[in-house]
Amino acid sequence: MSHETSTAPEQATRTEIPATHPAPVIAVSGLSKRYDSGFEALKRIDLEIQRGEIFALLGPNGAGKTTLISIICGLVNASAGSVLIDGHDNVSDYRAARAKIGLVPQELTSDAFENVWNTVRFSRGLFGRKPDKAHIEQVLKALSLWDKRKNKLITLSGGMKRRVLIAKALAHEPEILFLDEPTAGVDVELRRDMWEVVRELRSSGVTIILTTHYIEEAEEMADRIGVINRGEIVLVREKAALMRQLGSKQLTLQLQKPLASVPPALARYPLSLADDGNVLVYTYDSHDTDSGDRVAISTLLNEIEAAGIRFKDLHTKQSSLEEIFVNLVRERQ
Amino acid sequence: MNLQAVSAIYSFEMARAGRTLLQSLVSPVISTSLYFVVFGAAIGSRIQEVEGVSYGAFIVPGLIMLMLLTQSVSNASFGIFFPKFTGTIYEVLSAPISYFEIVLGYVGAAASKSAILGLVILATANFFVDLHIQHPFMMLLFLVLTAITFSLLGFIIGIWADSFEKLQLVPLLIITPLTFLGGSFYAIDMLPPFWQAVTLANPVVYLVSGFRWSFYGISDVNIIASLVMVGVFLAVSLAIISWIFRTGYRLRP
């Protein structure tokens, strides 16, 4: 079963970019990273991020998500390959490249004894922007931090610290925002708030790249989804395309006697045999109207009876993004 | 040049000193005063003049140097170690800022703090002993150059250290002994001939000697040798820092 669900995304390993898209805002090519320990965190990654999209990078722990982000943002040196940020090489032209990026790291780091306002103001200055109280006020208000602006960071809860990190990343008005596991360990309410902020940012033209291992988050937010595993990008697809795949359902029949091949009488159905002919699998699209579907299945079952095929059990199942993801990841191991 | 960033780091670091005023200013002033009470007044009154200078006055340049070295190193090492320790360093590394600007911000702030501290101690000393400075310009030059050089050293230690223990190791085991044995409290020729020769291998001797010369015109070693030594220190520290940034050592894996 796992094979059927994973073959389709496998074919889509290449990035799908419609010809009408302008130049990508981030172009990663041939990016590799081998740490001094010998660990190969990234293996010749190619990835393009389009301007204004929300891109979700999915992957299990240790897949290379954070290493990839760290190289793009300048925290880690690449072993090979290049990164262009809006046309600027992130090493030779690092000033122009980095000025466009805001980074919200995974770890909740903070200058414990500094207050919210000062730490956000510091971030803006660090990125070379002139002080702008109005902008910082706006950022703090958008993140419900305004009332806490005079509080020391050490007194804030984890969720509030996460907001402060986002405020710091937005202080210099970046065009690209990286959110590394933004909702890890965050309560439901804050997660919703954060999604709202991300949507507002996107509507103001900011490109957003988020890493997560929550599938729902990718489903909820992303325009495109990339899956990374063991340092390799294994899939990049439009979320809509993936959702269509999500819609595919399977009817599985456990046969009493194995079949050598699908009988010609049933050739018009997309049927396939599995498990040495002991299992008959019917794949169909649940997005078809329910009634049409039901008729199709009952018709199919009648025709299977008529063809003299006896089955001892049957079940249906809908593949989820999680399943696609798990299968992809398992297959590569 | 990203001056906004340099100024952001600089003022952030200065503000940190402001928050910890007790530790960064009051405590060195108190400990220096204690030195004056013990060495200057209590013991010093029984010690004869050294090369025509009362003992209390003689130890002033050495004491300022002692504080200058230890405070520069601890200020600068902590300034860069702490963000590394808490993880907030990510922001500096991802900012559009050059290595030179990072050093300028952190080391500039640490050097400013210890130079100010040096002047405060000088003013404190003025309460205890009668001070006259023969070469005020040279005095300031030594003060500032030493503050910068040892803040650079502290910056290196802060990057190298991966634990609080290591952070304390170099200041405790190297800087403090070298300073105490660097002629802060005595003239070199008060030592037996063998130790006089050994002590010339101690770089701090040249700093203390030069600094004392700017006060009283007396020195253990030639003033030119002192200036050259500060220059060598500065050059070595700068070379190590440029190597650190070139290789990403302990900052960018």
Hey, are the CB atoms on B253 and A118 less than 8 Å from each other? no
Dig out the tokens for B202 from the structure.
């101690």
A116 Cβ neighbours under 8 A, 6+ residues apart: A140, A145, A148, A149, A150, A151, A153, A156, A164, A167
Q: Does the CB of B93 have a partner CB in chain A at under 8 Å?
A: yes
How far apart CA B164 and CA B77 sit, in angstroms, is 10
Q: Quick one: closest CA in A to B84, which residue?
A: A109
- Which one of A98, A109, A113 has the shortest CB-CB distance to B95? A98
Neighbours of A2 (CB within 10 A): 14
Hey, are the CB atoms on A128 and B2 less than 8 Å from each other? yes
For chain A, how far is it from start to end, CA to CA, in angstroms?
17
- Residues from chain B that touch A107, judged by Cβ atoms under 8 A, are 87
Q: How far away is chain B from the Cα of A214, in angstroms, using its nearest Cα?
A: 24
How far apart CA A234 and CA A240 sit, in angstroms, is 18
B:5-24 residues touching chain A, CB 8 A cutoff: 5, 7-9, 12, 15-16, 19
Neighbours of A287 (CB within 10 A): 13
How far apart CA A118 and CA A179 sit, in angstroms, is 22
A177, A104 contact by CB (below 8 A): yes
Supply φ then ψ for residue A249, to 5 degrees. -120, 155
B139, B133 contact by CB (below 8 A): yes
A16, A47 contact by CB (below 8 A): no
Q: Which residues of A touch B (CB under 8 A)?
A: 35-36, 73-77, 94-99, 101, 103, 105, 107, 109-114, 118, 121-130, 168
Per-residue pLDDT of chain A (333 residues), as tens digits, is 334 333 344 344 444 445 555 789 999 999 999 999 999 999 999 999 999 999 999 888 888 999 999 999 999 999 999 999 999 999 999 999 999 999 999 888 888 788 999 999 999 999 999 999 999 999 999 888 999 999 999 999 888 898 999 999 999 999 999 999 887 777 787 788 888 888 899 999 999 999 887 777 888 889 999 989 889 998 898 988 877 766 677 889 999 988 888 888 888 888 888 888 889 988 877 655 454 555 578 888 888 888 888 889 988 876 666 776 777 777 666
E strands, B33-183, where?
none
State the pLDDT at residue A287: 58
A211 three-class SS: strand
B109, B178 contact by CB (below 8 A): no
Hey, are the CB atoms on A128 and B4 less than 8 Å from each other? yes
State the pLDDT at residue A9: 40
- Residues from chain B that touch A94, judged by Cβ atoms under 8 A, are 96
- According to DSSP, residue B129 is labeled S
- Residues from chain B that touch A35, judged by Cβ atoms under 8 A, are 253
How far apart CA B116 and CA B28 sit, in angstroms, is 12
Q: How many beta-carbon pairs under 8 angstroms link A with B? A: 79
Q: Which amino acid is at A171?
A: A
Counts of helices then strands in chain A (DSSP H, E): 11, 14
B252, A77 contact by CB (below 8 A): yes
How far apart CA A314 and CA A272 sit, in angstroms, is 15
Q: Quick one: closest CA in A to B2, which residue?
A: A128
Q: Domain spanning A247-320: which CATH class is it, in words?
A: alpha beta
A303 three-class SS: helix
Q: How far away is chain B from the Cα of A119, in angstroms, using its nearest Cα?
A: 9
Dig out the tokens for B198 from the structure.
């050994």
- According to DSSP, residue B220 is labeled S
**DSSP bridge pairs for A58:** A212, A227
Q: Quick one: closest CA in B to A95, which residue?
A: B96
Please identify every stretch of chain B with a pLDDT value under 50, giving residue numbers as ranges. none
Distances (CA, A) of B71 to B104, B110, B151: 18, 8, 8
State the pLDDT at residue B40: 75
Hey, are the CB atoms on A110 and B94 less than 8 Å from each other? no
Bridge-based pairing state of the strands A311-318 and A248-255: antiparallel
What are B208-217's pLDDT values in tens digits? 999 999 999 9
Distances (CA, A) of A297 to A164, A255, A282, A291: 54, 17, 9, 10
B209 Cβ neighbours under 8 A, 6+ residues apart: B183, B188, B219, B220, B221, B223, B226
CATH architecture of A2-244: 3-Layer(aba) Sandwich (3.40)
Q: How far away is chain B from the Cα of A180, in angstroms, using its nearest Cα?
A: 13
- Residues from chain A that touch B80, judged by Cβ atoms under 8 A, are none
Residue-range domain boundaries for chain B:
3-247
Q: What value of ipTM does the predicted structure carry?
A: 0.87
Picking from B14, B88, B89, B93 by the largest number of A CB atoms within 10 A of its own CB, the best residue to mutate is: B88
Picking from A33, A94, A126, A181 by the largest number of B CB atoms within 10 A of its own CB, the best residue to mutate is: A126
Q: How far away is chain A from the Cα of B74, in angstroms, using its nearest Cα?
A: 18
State the pLDDT at residue B49: 81
How far apart CA B184 and CA B207 sit, in angstroms, is 10
Dig out the tokens for A76 from the structure.
């880690």
Residue with structure tokens 């000033």? Answer: A95
- Which one of B16, B95, B98 has the shortest CB-CB distance to A126? B95
Picking from B6, B90, B98 by the largest number of A CB atoms within 10 A of its own CB, the best residue to mutate is: B90
Bridge-based pairing state of the strands A232-238 and A279-285: unpaired
**DSSP bridge pairs for A250:** A283, A317
Q: Which amino acid is at A157?
A: S
How far apart CA A299 and CA A317 sit, in angstroms, is 19
State the pLDDT at residue A133: 95
Distances (CA, A) of A202 to A124, A157, A181: 20, 27, 18
Hey, are the CB atoms on A107 and B96 less than 8 Å from each other? no
